[in-house]
Chains A and B, each alone.
Chain A
Amino acid sequence: MILVLPIILPLLIMVVLIFTRRWLFFQQAFSILASVVLMWVGFLILMDVQQNGIKAVQPGSWDAPFGITLVADLFSAIMMVTASFVAVVVMIFSPGFIDKERQTAGYYPLVFGLLMGVNGAFFTGDLFNLYVWYEVMLTSSFVLIALGGSAEQLRGSIKYVTINFVASIFFVSAIGILYGQAGTLNMADLADKMRSWDEHTYVNSALMLFFIAFSVKSALVPFFFWLPASYHTPPVAITALFAGTLTKVGVYTMFRFYSLFVVYDQMFWTLFILTLAGLTMFIGVLMAASQFDIRKILSFHIISQVGYMIMGLGIFTVSGIAGAIYFTIHNMLSKTNTFLAGGLVYQRSGSYDLKYLGGLYKAKPLLALLFFIPAMSLAGIPPLPGFFGKFFLIKGGFEAQQYFITAVAILTGLFTLFSMVKIWNEAYWKKEPEDVKSRGKVHPATIMATSLLALAVILLGIFVGPVMELSMQAGEQIVNPQMYISAVLGK
């Protein structure tokens, strides 16, 4: 029963929010409460899975491989907890930041529509169902990105919609090819069948189509260009939510697919994924370093950081995967946090452009601190979680004797530090420029939300031991897909 809750709860919340769309205060309060409940459900699933192993249910009592299976393993449960925590924070942040028109135009129902899609993608065990959850998620995000309808937003959303539709075509054609060959859509069943095939002509082409689809959605080189072209257009609370959920669902799915379906030609896939990971990290961070808009710098950083996660996937040892999982948790929190801190800067100074910013360290030390924590975490300064994330990944890289990619990862870390320091110098340290746009007030709710997230980042750094242990267990489940297969098929 509990496994259907991550999907039907957001749906029910959405229905309530649609009926009450005129009562703004109720919407704000209810959304915070509802997202906390969702996180609690995530925790319950996580505890359950940790104690009893991978869990599968069959809604409608149609047994696998015929019905649609919902599966929870440690990785999906961890992802759900983290994503719903990001949602809690953004829900606290939004009332103080997003204008009333947008808030009453369906912002809150759409956020829960997005969360329903995200949770569905985490827990489904069926290929076509996964595609449907991706569409649910993307439809909500299309509307969220265009919500309010300013010219800049519409420009961004057209790029976003077009490229994501193309990716969906790749996705669904790959499903078609695999279904044509295997006659099943159940992921565990498909993985099981694949392991006993004599002939596998179409597998690699289908997997490559999947890979293209998910690398568009998680913004890998060379398919990343839509992200910086659209992410900076909506209000920063929406961008923060996207940064903490959307691209990470793509990464999650790649992990799941690699674990289940990459049976043949592993040498090729390792080399291929590691090459792309290295390019993604490096190109992302180089482009970030050349930007002057806070939101654009951070958007390019998303790309660079996705490269790290994919590096863990390419290494594909327990410690590499565990490092990547820890890094993903850290990134979802820290990245969202830097975006929210950017929002605070905007409230205070009326701009995201570094040229018009300055003197914030002197004027508002708290704002500076709230940016400093996640930024240094992203740059990988101990004892913040970014350091441990990179440390475990690099350690995993050395253990797997992938020296080149490890060197690229270390070098990229240096550039990350550079671009974070750039924001820090320009917005916080340098003198306030003459032509400062405005001197607004910062809403207390936004400060509270950002502080909560910064606290979570620090705690993730302090409790690195237990979290890493959990990630190791999750990594083991990913590296040994047989556990997943037997949990679903019951053999």
Chain B
Amino acid sequence: MESIILQIAARHLRPLLIVLSLVVLYRGHNEPGGGFIGGLMFGAAYILYAMAFGVAKTQESTFFNPINLTALGLLIAVVSGLPALLLGDSFMTGAWYTFFKQTAFELKLGTPLIFDVGVYFAVAGMLMLVMFSIMEE
């Protein structure tokens, strides 16, 4: 099925959804959101694209393989536990650092965010892997 409306919408919505998923990922620590939902949105962006253009074309337009994305996510999630060990704490202890303190751009980053990034990739990769193989049938 080829729908010109869906194709145009998908082409413009994909980057938008990806940016939105990053916003959801970042705000996740204290507000609704997080790696899991962000990952789902990231995956959904590609699924929408695949619905409009087909799986083969979507895979051409991505520079990563869903399985590798999942594995990368798992790796990032494990690595996020390691800085705590360097600081002498127990594994997975959160370490936080605030950039630009007391300015308008105050930015609080920490290892839980890295863990969330890992979840983000793992969920996105898994979702795409499953959906692509179902849609290929």
B59 on interface, CB distance cutoff 8 Å: no
A44 on interface, CB distance cutoff 8 Å: no
A60 on interface, CB distance cutoff 8 Å: yes
A357 to B136, CA, bound (A): 44
B91 on interface, CB distance cutoff 8 Å: yes
Pick the residue among B68, B71, B78, B94 that contacts A60 (CB under 8 A). Answer: B94
B51 on interface, CB distance cutoff 8 Å: no
Residues of A within 8 A of B75 (CB): 12, 15
Q: A58-B90, A60-B90, A60-B92 are in contact. Are A8 and B70 (CB under 8 A)?
A: no
Q: How large is the interface on B (under 10, 10 to 19, 20 to 34, 35 or more residues)?
A: 10 to 19
A15 to B90, CA, bound (A): 23
A260 to B66, CA, bound (A): 43
From B78, B81, B94, residue with most partner A Cβ within 10 Å: B78
Residues of A within 8 A of B67 (CB): 18, 21
User: What 1/0 flags go to B32-60 for Cβ under 8 Å of A?
Assistant: 00000000000000000000000000000
Q: Is the CB of B78 within 8 A of A8?
A: yes
A19 to B71, CA, bound (A): 7
User: What 1/0 flags go to B70-95 for Cβ under 8 Å of A?
Assistant: 11101100100100110001111110
Pick the residue among B74, B85, B94 that contacts A1 (CB under 8 A). Answer: B85
User: What 1/0 flags go to B86-107 for Cβ under 8 Å of A?
Assistant: 0001111110000000000000
| Chain B nearest Cβ from A124, distance in angstroms | 14
Residues of A within 8 A of B (CB): 1, 4, 8, 11-12, 14-15, 18-19, 21, 57-61
Q: A1-B85, A8-B81, A19-B68 are in contact. Are A60 and B74 (CB under 8 A)?
A: no
A18 to B71, CA, bound (A): 7
Residues of B within 8 A of A15 (CB): 71-72, 74-75, 78
| Chain B nearest Cβ from A172, distance in angstroms | 20
Pick the residue among A11, A21, A61 that contacts B90 (CB under 8 A). Answer: A61
| Chain B nearest Cβ from A116, distance in angstroms | 10
A366 to B84, CA, bound (A): 53
Residues of A within 8 A of B78 (CB): 8, 11-12, 15
Given contacts A57-B90, A59-B92, 16 further A-B contacts (CB under 8 A): A1-B85, A4-B81, A4-B91, A4-B92, A8-B91, A12-B75, A12-B78, A14-B74, A15-B71, A15-B72, A15-B78, A21-B67, A57-B91, A59-B91, A60-B84, A61-B93
| Chain A nearest Cβ from B92, distance in angstroms | 4
A21 to B68, CA, bound (A): 10
| Chain A nearest Cβ from B19, distance in angstroms | 28
A11 to B73, CA, bound (A): 11
Residues of B within 8 A of A1 (CB): 85, 91
A19 to B90, CA, bound (A): 29
Residues of B within 8 A of A12 (CB): 75, 78
A8 to B77, CA, bound (A): 10
Q: Is the CB of B92 within 8 A of A18?
A: no
Pick the residue among B68, B74, B81 that contacts A59 (CB under 8 A). Answer: B81
A18 to B125, CA, bound (A): 13
A58 to B91, CA, bound (A): 8
From B68, B74, B78, B90, residue with most partner A Cβ within 10 Å: B90
Residue of A nearest to B79 (CB): A12
A57 to B68, CA, bound (A): 32
Residues of B within 8 A of A4 (CB): 81, 91-92
A312 to B70, CA, bound (A): 43
A15 to B73, CA, bound (A): 9
Q: A8-B78, A8-B81, A11-B78 are in contact. Are A61 and B71 (CB under 8 A)?
A: no
A8 to B81, CA, bound (A): 10
Q: A8-B81, A11-B78, A12-B75 are in contact. Are A60 and B93 (CB under 8 A)?
A: yes
Residues of B within 8 A of A8 (CB): 78, 81, 91
Q: A12-B78, A59-B81 are in contact. Are A18 and B90 (CB under 8 A)?
A: no
A216 to B78, CA, bound (A): 32
A58 to B93, CA, bound (A): 9
Residues of A within 8 A of B89 (CB): 61
A19 to B78, CA, bound (A): 16
| Chain A nearest Cβ from B72, distance in angstroms | 8
A63 to B74, CA, bound (A): 25
A12 to B118, CA, bound (A): 13
| Chain A nearest Cβ from B111, distance in angstroms | 10
